[in-house]
Structure 1
């Protein structure tokens, strides 16, 4: 399985998350380290997906390609524009990677809003960290600038992007991750729906 996306920390979050969502035994996760930005690609979308395909096919020379996962931060909330963009990206991905399972991690507003679905992971990583009850109840797909929100509200130590993979690792190891978590973030559940529809590995 190949994971591509915008940043190293985001890709590492997915590396921890994917085994918890995959419907069978999760295949080995390989990372495309070159940053790939799709959300605002417009006319450059097709060639960028072709770059990912070229890398994935090179890996497939030595191992069976189980699927393609692509991450992009929406930098916006989940609304009609999210639906439109997700449809466009998925259609283009399905065309380029025809015959290969795909999943789009289009995180609204950014991947930190996914992490907030698993509040126990924050305390597990740093005992002084605790999400507010209001944050646990809110529609996290509508939370603007989730990263800044955590930096402002978590307390010490200050939240950094490098904490993101550690938080997802804690969430998975703690058994908190499922395709339909207790919290609310439609962009996470759309991604989980993509992954859980993949065929089980033989």
Structure 2
């Protein structure tokens, strides 16, 4: 009886997906991408702390970081029903570095008691994903050069943020405009969502496809619980 009462109480709360990441820009960008992939996602809320700091750390530090995330989840669960947790961390390495990092993040968070963890681990970093949607990037700043890496494996571009800045910089001197900066990331992701570009990818990114697959797995898992 007590278990049923607890389950009913949880279901009466607002369902929420929490997003953790390296900074506000990354968290907001990941939020928009999830909403693009999964339009019916429950409320999705970024959390500023703790940062996801798994990469390059020893096992004890990884567990400590995961426990800190779990503590925030438990605190949030007093007022909302936290149904899943998204965790962003750039690989700072080329694909397939995202595979091990994603598995590590999801394993540590799962072991700490975090519900349905999902890692967002762009290789080299999140800027590689913007090559997937050149139309969305162009809509954010029409004066930028149109990205042209159709069919390329963009997850293998080293130091991709610097490469993206150069690729977007206008060639003609009379078309000068501001360079790409990290605060442009949420605007690009929002455009991808608003213009429904997310499934129309023009390049290849195993790290994005892995992220997309995991988001859809969580969507299906939650749907089966409700059913």
Deviation at 1:102, TM superposition (A): 1.4
* Compared CA separation, residues 85 and 36, structure 1 to 2 (3 A): closer
Partner of 1:40: 56
Contact 1:122 1:130 in 2 (8 A): no
Deviation at 1:39, TM superposition (A): 1.6
Q: What does the per-residue CA deviation read over 1:33-62, in whole Å, with 9 as the maximum and x for residues that have no partner?
A: 123322223231111011111111111111
Partner of 2:181: 160
User: Bigger radius of gyration, 1 or 2?
Assistant: 2
Deviation at 1:182, TM superposition (A): 3.9
- Any residues of structure 2 matched to 1:75-90 within 5 Å, and which? 75-79=92-96, 81-90=97-106
d(CA) in 2 for partners of 1:107, 1:8? 16
Partner of 1:185: 205
Deviation at 1:4, TM superposition (A): 0.7
Deviation at 1:88, TM superposition (A): 2.7
**Structure 1 gap ranges (5+):** none
d(CA) in 2 for partners of 1:130, 1:172? 21
- Any residues of structure 2 matched to 1:58-97 within 5 Å, and which? 58-79=75-96, 81-97=97-113
Partner of 1:140: 154
**Structure 2 gap ranges (5+):** 1-16, 170-176
Matched residue of 2:186: which SS?
Answer: helix
Q: What does the per-residue CA deviation read over 1:87-128, in whole Å, with 9 as the maximum and x for residues that have no partner?
A: 333322222236x21110011000011122111111111111
Question: Which one scores higher on RCO, CA 8 angstroms, separation ≥ 6?
Answer: 1
> Which residue, out of 101, 108, 112, partners 2:127?
112
Deviation at 1:16, TM superposition (A): 0.9
Q: What does the per-residue CA deviation read over 1:122-161, in whole Å, with 9 as the maximum and x for residues that have no partner?
A: 111111123342x232101101111111222212221100
| Matched residues, number | 197
- Any residues of structure 2 matched to 1:21-36 within 5 Å, and which? 21-22=37-38, 25-34=40-49, 35-36=51-52
Scaled by the length of structure 2, the TM-score of the pair is: 0.80
Partner of 2:28: 12
d(CA) in 1 for partners of 2:42, 2:131? 26
d(CA) in 1 for partners of 2:102, 2:35? 23
* Compared CA separation, residues 132 and 18, structure 1 to 2 (3 A): closer
Matched residue of 1:68: which SS?
Answer: strand
Matched residue of 1:29: which SS?
Answer: strand
Partner of 1:122: 137
Contact 2:25 2:183 in 1 (8 A): yes
